[in-house]
């Protein structure tokens, strides 16, 4: 049985992988992770852990309800406004940048406000200290249910991307047998998740998945049903997307140098596991 170690954000997971304090990590892809690799430390992205995907929106841009009621319906109407994110360099920062680009805008057209944690985003929007927040389920549903906010943009419906992955520390990756063995188990779990949650969406196995998720997240069953993310059934990564992300972060001046996908992506464990299964 693996030992589960919980973190409050993506960056500490990347640091723990870099130091070898953990063998495997599952989290969002951030500028901080890419900077660690740009600095010469090996961390390997090995499988899909979650995508933004049409009809499977994990994150959203939520605007204050009073602004929505006054007629704010597009991102262009937030020009000059304050938008809360967890951290500079986070997946939410990336979301905002990509939202803006699709509208022909740039990050300089809004004021990003880093608030460190997802609960703080809810608090800030409710208290009207920011005009909108980029946040994730179940916090999106909580904001709408409380009447504090309304969804303006759903990320998966706007631009699909590889938001989260499974990663190996370099030390773990060098133990080929263990790396492949772990991946075999992960693929079996991924297939069960896809078939139960994304394909069937009902039945005893689906309800069991709801119960397990509630146990580890403390979210209610109703909120969990609204927020299951998409991931590839076999754990395959979106082709080329990590390279697109690193190029974007480098263009923003937030990673030290360009990173080729071969420096950080290794799907050989997944390929070997799939062949064995």
Q: Name the domain boundary from 136, 158, 180.
A: 158
CB-based contact 270:184 (threshold 8 Å): no
Specify if 101 maps to a domain.
Answer: yes
Asked if 68 and 84 sit in the same domain, the reply is yes
φ and ψ at 27, to 5 degrees?
-165, 180
Specify if 222 maps to a domain.
Answer: no
Asked if 28 and 66 sit in the same domain, the reply is no
Q: Cα separation of 47 and 69, whole Å?
A: 42
φ and ψ at 166, to 5 degrees?
-90, 135
Specify if 105 maps to a domain.
Answer: yes
Count of Cβ atoms closer than 10 Å to residue 107 Cβ: 14
Asked if 148 and 253 sit in the same domain, the reply is no
User: Per-residue pLDDT tens for 133-174?
Assistant: 999 887 888 899 899 999 999 999 999 999 999 999 999 999
What is the number of structural domains in the chain?
2
CB contact set of 60 (below 8 Å; sequence gap of 6+): 134, 135, 136, 140, 151, 152, 153, 154, 155
Q: Cα separation of 78 and 111, whole Å?
A: 10
Let me know if 42 is exposed, middle or buried by CB neighbors in 10 A (0-12, 13-18, 19+): middle
Specify if 219 maps to a domain.
Answer: no
Specify if 209 maps to a domain.
Answer: no
Q: Cα separation of 245 and 139, whole Å?
A: 25
Nearest-CA neighbor of 174 among 89, 266, 94? 266
Alpha helices for the chain (secondary structure H)? 10-19, 31-38, 65-69, 91-102, 118-126, 139-146, 155-158, 170-173, 176-193, 204-217, 221-226, 241-251, 268-276
- Residue 121 backbone class (left: φ over 0; alpha: ψ -120 to 50; beta: rest): alpha
Q: pLDDT tens digits for the chain (277 residues)?
A: 788 888 877 888 999 999 999 999 999 999 999 999 999 999 999 999 999 999 888 899 999 999 999 999 999 999 999 999 998 999 999 999 999 999 999 999 999 999 988 889 999 999 999 999 999 887 888 899 899 999 999 999 999 999 999 999 999 999 999 999 999 999 999 999 999 999 988 889 999 989 988 888 777 787 777 768 899 999 999 999 999 999 999 999 999 898 999 999 999 999 999 999 8
The pTM of the full predicted model, rounded to 2 decimals, is: 0.88
CATH value at residue 234? 3.40.190.10
Asked if 38 and 126 sit in the same domain, the reply is no
Q: Name the domain boundary from 139, 158, 177.
A: 158
Asked if 43 and 81 sit in the same domain, the reply is no
Specify if 255 maps to a domain.
Answer: yes
Q: Cα separation of 253 and 20, whole Å?
A: 28
Asked if 113 and 99 sit in the same domain, the reply is yes
Specify if 18 maps to a domain.
Answer: yes
User: Per-residue pLDDT tens for 187-227?
Assistant: 999 999 999 999 988 889 999 989 988 888 777 787 777 76
| Range of the structural domain that residue 20 is part of | 10-52+161-193+230-276
Specify if 221 maps to a domain.
Answer: no
Q: Name the domain boundary from 108, 138, 158.
A: 158
Asked if 107 and 133 sit in the same domain, the reply is yes
């Amino acid at each position: 049985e693996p030992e589960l170690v919980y973190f409050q954000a993506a960056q500490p997971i990347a640091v723990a992988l870099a130091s070898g304090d953990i063998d495997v990590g599952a989290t969002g892809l951030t500028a901080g992770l890419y900077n660690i690799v740009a600095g010469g430390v090996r961390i390997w992205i090995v499988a899909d852990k979650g995508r933004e995907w049409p009809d499977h929106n994990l994150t959203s841009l939520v605007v204050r309800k009073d602004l929505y009621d006054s007629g704010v319906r597009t991102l262009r109407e937030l020009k000059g406004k304050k938008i809360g994110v967890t951290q500079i360099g986070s997946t939410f920062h990336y979301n905002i940048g990509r939202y803006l680009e699709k509208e022909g805008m740039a990050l300089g057209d809004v004021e990003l406000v880093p608030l460190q944690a997802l609960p703080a985003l809810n608090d800030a929007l409710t208290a009207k200290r920011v005009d909108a927040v980029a946040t994730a389920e179940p916090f999106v549903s909580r904001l709408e249910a409380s009447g504090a906010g309304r969804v303006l943009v759903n990320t998966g419906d706007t631009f699909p991307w590889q938001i989260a992955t499974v990663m190996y520390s370099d030390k773990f990756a060098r133990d080929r047998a263990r790396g492949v063995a772990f991946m075999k188990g992960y693929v079996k779990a991924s297939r069960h998740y896809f078939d139960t949650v994304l394909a069937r969406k009902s039945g005893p196995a689906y309800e069991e998945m709801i119960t397990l998720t509630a146990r580890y997240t403390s979210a209610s069953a109703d909120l969990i049903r609204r927020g299951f993310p998409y991931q590839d059934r076999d754990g395959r990564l979106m082709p080329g997307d990590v390279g697109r992300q690193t190029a974007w972060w480098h263009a923003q001046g937030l990673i030290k140098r360009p990173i080729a996908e071969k420096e950080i992506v290794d799907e050989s464990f997944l390929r070997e596991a799939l062949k064995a299964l």
